[in-house]
Amino acid sequence: MRNKKGQFKKGHIPPFKGIKGIHLSPKTEFKKGCVSIRKGKKHTKLAKEKIRLSHLGKKGYWLGKKRLDITGKNNWNWKGGISTENDKIRHSLEYKIWRIEVYKKDKYKCRLCGSKKDIVAHHLKLFSDFPELRFSVDNGITLCRSCHLKLHKYVMGIGATTNGTITIKDGLITSITEAS
C-alpha cells in the first residue's frame, strides 16, 4: 500500500517478497540446455523472398545520419586533431580514385606474379618525394601484398627508400635490381 505521496507505507510487504528464484511463467522462459525450435532449419526460397520484399524501401535508423553529439571534439577518443597530412591524403576520395584507376590499368592483377588476391597500389616514384605525381596513374602499379613486401624489402632495402631500381618495358616489369 502507498500513502498520498506515492511512498510505500511502513510494514508493507511487496507482492513477490520471499519467492526469489521462483519463475512466474516457466513455459515461456529460456531453459538451459534446450535447443531453439528453428536451430538448423533454413528459410525456404518463398520465405526469403517475402522477407526481402518486406525490407524493400526501408533503411536502418542511423543510415545517413551523423551523431553530432559524439563526433569530432565531442568524441571520448578525440586527441586534438592529430591526423597527419599523409593520413588525410591517403584517406581522401582522390587517393581512392587513383588506386582504383591503377587497378583498372593493370587489370586487377599483380604485375610481378599475376595474382588477383590481396592487391595494393604502389607508387613507382616515392609518395613523399614527388607530391606532384601522387595521383598520376602512370606513377602507380598493382602488386599483391607479398610482392609489395618483397619490393620494399629487397629492392629498396629494409628501411631504405631509393637504393634498388625497377625496369618497366611495354607496361610490364622486366627487371628488378636489388639494393646493395
Q: Tell me which residue has cell 526501408.
A: 58
Q: How many CB atoms lie within 10 A of CB 112?
A: 19
CA-CA distance, 160 to 48, in Å (whole number)? 56
Distance (Å, whole) CA 177 – CA 94:
32
pLDDT grade, residue 93 (50/70/90)? very high
- Pairing type for strands 165-169 and 140-144 reads unpaired
pLDDT per residue as tens digits for the range 38-91: 788 999 999 999 999 999 988 888 887 888 888 888 888 888 888 788 888 888
What is the C-alpha to C-alpha distance for residues 125 and 140, in angstroms, rounded to an integer?
A: 8
Q: Who has greater pLDDT, 99 or 14?
A: 99
Residue 173, Cβ neighbours under 10 Å: how many?
16
Asked if residues 78 and 139 have their Cβ atoms less than 8 Å apart, the reply is no
Distance, in Å, from the CA atom of 124 to the CA atom of 103, rounded to the nearest integer, reads 14
Conformation bin of residue 18: beta by default, left when phi > 0, alpha when psi is -120 to 50: left
Q: What is the band of 160 on the pLDDT scale with cuts at 50, 70, 90?
A: very low
pLDDT digits (tens, 9 = 90+) for 94-149: 999 999 999 999 999 998 888 899 999 998 888 888 889 889 999 899 999 988 88
The answer, as to whether pTM is greater than 0.75, is no
**Grid cell 516457466 in the structure block, residue:** 26
Alpha-carbon distance of 148 to 112, in angstroms, equals: 9
**62: Cα within 13 Å, side-chain hemisphere:** 3
Name the residue ranges covered by the structural domains of the chain: 81-177
